[in-house]
Amino acid sequence: MAESIVIIGGGASGLMCALLLAKRGKSVTVLEKNPRVGKKLLATGNGKCNLTNINLAVEDYNTVLVKDILQEFTPQRVIDEFADMGLLTKADAEGRVYPYSESANTVLNLIIRRLEEYGARVICDTLVEQIQPCKDKWKVITSNGEYTADVAVFACGSNATSGLDSLHLIRALGHRADQFRYAIAPLLCEDIKGANGVRAKVYATMFINGKEAMGERGEFLFKDDALSGILAFRLSSALARYKGKVESCKVIIDFVPDMQEERLADFIYGNCSVYAPLEGILHKAIAQNVMARVRMDRSLIMSREKADGIAKACKAYEVNIRGVGAKANAQVACGGVCLDELDMTSMQSKLHRGLYCIGESVDVDGLCGGCNLHWAWASAMAANKDIK
Ligand SMILES: Cc1cc2nc3c(=O)[nH]c(=O)nc-3n(C[C@H](O)[C@H](O)[C@H](O)COP(=O)(O)OP(=O)(O)OC[C@H]3O[C@@H](n4cnc5c(N)ncnc54)[C@H](O)[C@@H]3O)c2cc1C
């Protein structure tokens, strides 16, 4: 029976795990490097905290190994757990669940209040430097002294945004961990100019080394040197998850996904001015980029051939991707503690009894839309259930 638990990292997963254990009367200590816990949580969902998604599926993650935990700790279980804390939630049309207040502060404040009520110790400004097995216990060496407990939970997240990578702590215990790679971030490219801040609903297909990796409908937000917005974030996960060497990455954008190419060509041929054929179809800045790729002869007549060429350019605009944006813009990272060394129903280490790894610190990443916080809560719930 574990009486005392030390949790390394006071982010979403560590806090949820602490709360559930403390609620059961366990002696829990959370060690956090920052002056306050939950810094990343406050930034989620543009400050609104998209805490889960009622439509999420195993396919939204990089691995099917999340299946058992997702099946048991469903979005509804997460919503119920938060309701039990006193949090009212609501879902939008895409199934994204937010606190009713639309404020991440509400979520964090409730968690902190409950941790206090259940008597958990939260110790901030404390960097964990080493985790050591010590007889049947765990010794955790920090910038602020040593802590000993029956169970240790590694909940250090990834280096996305923070730059802090604590995987060395777990590697020192013999665990393998894949280097972090930023995801849910803008896709860097130079192929669309003068459209900074413009949004467009498109269908985009990503090809990595010439092979189709992902195709999806959604919204891009164009930046001077990047594709951003939810669609870019989702595609960035496909690129970051790619294990081999990326020789080339292209995105083919269909700017008029609601119309077949031939019908679009008919429309252009029959209705559009030869001077500005896309004026009535696309945003001006996008239209200029598309037209710059169409060979036009000097004749002032809209020919069928011209209309076909313009329609083709609208439906297959090729963009070369240089990579995924920098740490400051990345919401998650792929990589982390290798899953074959963890029991994927409990998140307990297969190498060390009494050691658990949860949240983004392990090699699980989801697409944007609530999947990553869901994994943080669900993996914490799985560990809590297993700790007797
Ligand atoms: C801008 C932004 C927006 C996001 N929006 C969403 C969203 O809307 N929905 C969604 O599902 N996901 C979102 N995410 C992703 C989500 O926030 C993370 O997946 C989630 O916070 C991971 O939780 P975690 O507990 O694993 O890690 P974190 O929340 O990163 O917590 C880890 C904690 O461990 C601490 N730590 C690390 N190393 C040490 C050490 N050696 N000693 C002591 N402490 C240490 C860190 O300081 C940190 O507080 C967003 C992320 C960002 C950056």
Please indicate whether residue 336, judged by its CB atom, sits closer than 6 Å to ligand 1. Answer: no
pLDDT at 297: 75
Question: Which pair of tokens denotes residue 291?
Answer: 């037209």
pLDDT at 172: 98
* Mean pLDDT, the chain, integer: 96
Contact 180, 332 (CB under 8 A): no
| Residues in CB range of 245: below 8 A, 6 or more apart | none
Please indicate whether residue 11, judged by its CB atom, sits closer than 6 Å to ligand 1. Answer: yes
State the Cα–Cα distance between residues 331 and 182, nearest whole angstrom: 8
Q: Dump pLDDT digits (tens) for 145-161.
A: 999 999 999 999 999 99
Please indicate whether residue 331, judged by its CB atom, sits closer than 6 Å to ligand 1. Answer: yes
- Residue 388 pLDDT level (bands cut at 50, 70, 90): very high
- Closest of 323, 182, 315, 302 to residue 250, by C-alpha: 323
Rounded distance from Cα 38 to ligand 1 centre (Å): 7
Q: Dump pLDDT digits (tens) for 266-281.
A: 999 999 999 999 999 9
CB atoms within 10 A of CB 68: 15
- Closest of 216, 184, 185, 220 to residue 199, by C-alpha: 220
Strands 177-183 and 332-337: antiparallel
| Residues in CB range of 104: below 8 A, 6 or more apart | 41, 42, 43, 44, 45, 47, 48, 49
- Closest of 279, 278, 273 to residue 300, by C-alpha: 273
Pocket test for ligand 1, best of 15, 142, 156, 377 (most atoms within 8 A of CB): 156
Rounded distance from Cα 220 to ligand 1 centre (Å): 25
Pocket test for ligand 1, best of 143, 331, 379 (most atoms within 8 A of CB): 331
Q: Dump pLDDT digits (tens) for 16-71.
A: 999 999 999 999 999 999 999 999 999 999 999 999 999 999 999 999 999 999 99
3-state helix, strand, coil in the chain (%, to 5): 35, 25, 40
Give the predicted TM-score (pTM) of the model: 0.93
Contact 376, 7 (CB under 8 A): no
Rounded distance from Cα 279 to ligand 1 centre (Å): 44
Q: Which atom of ligand 1 is nearest to the CA of 361?
A: 26
> If phi over 0 gives left and psi between -120 and 50 gives alpha, with beta otherwise, what is residue 161?
left
Of all protein residues, whose CA lies closest to atom 29 belonging to ligand 1? 11
pLDDT at 127: 98
For residues 223 and 243, which has the higher predicted lDDT (pLDDT)? 223
Rounded distance from Cα 335 to ligand 1 centre (Å): 14
Q: What is the CATH number of domain 4-182+332-386?
A: 3.50.50.60
Question: Which pair of tokens denotes residue 33?
Answer: 């490097």
Please indicate whether residue 89, judged by its CB atom, sits closer than 6 Å to ligand 1. Answer: no
- Residue 309 pLDDT level (bands cut at 50, 70, 90): very high
pLDDT at 243: 85
Question: Which pair of tokens denotes residue 139?
Answer: 């010794």
Q: Dump pLDDT digits (tens) for 321-373.
A: 999 987 778 999 999 999 999 999 999 999 999 999 999 999 999 999 999 99
Tokens 């699980």 correspond to what residue? Answer: 364
State the Cα–Cα distance between residues 138 and 17, nearest whole angstrom: 17
Rounded distance from Cα 41 to ligand 1 centre (Å): 6
> For residue 134, how many C-alpha atoms fall within 13 Å in the half-sphere facing its CB?
15
Strands 317-320 and 121-123: unpaired
State the Cα–Cα distance between residues 158 and 360, nearest whole angstrom: 6
Of all protein residues, whose CA lies closest to atom 30 belonging to ligand 1? 157
Q: Which atom of ligand 1 is nearest to the CA of 359?
A: 26
pLDDT at 299: 77
Q: Domain segments of the chain: what residues?
A: 4-182+332-386, 186-325
pLDDT at 109: 98
Of all protein residues, whose CA lies closest to atom 27 belonging to ligand 1? 157
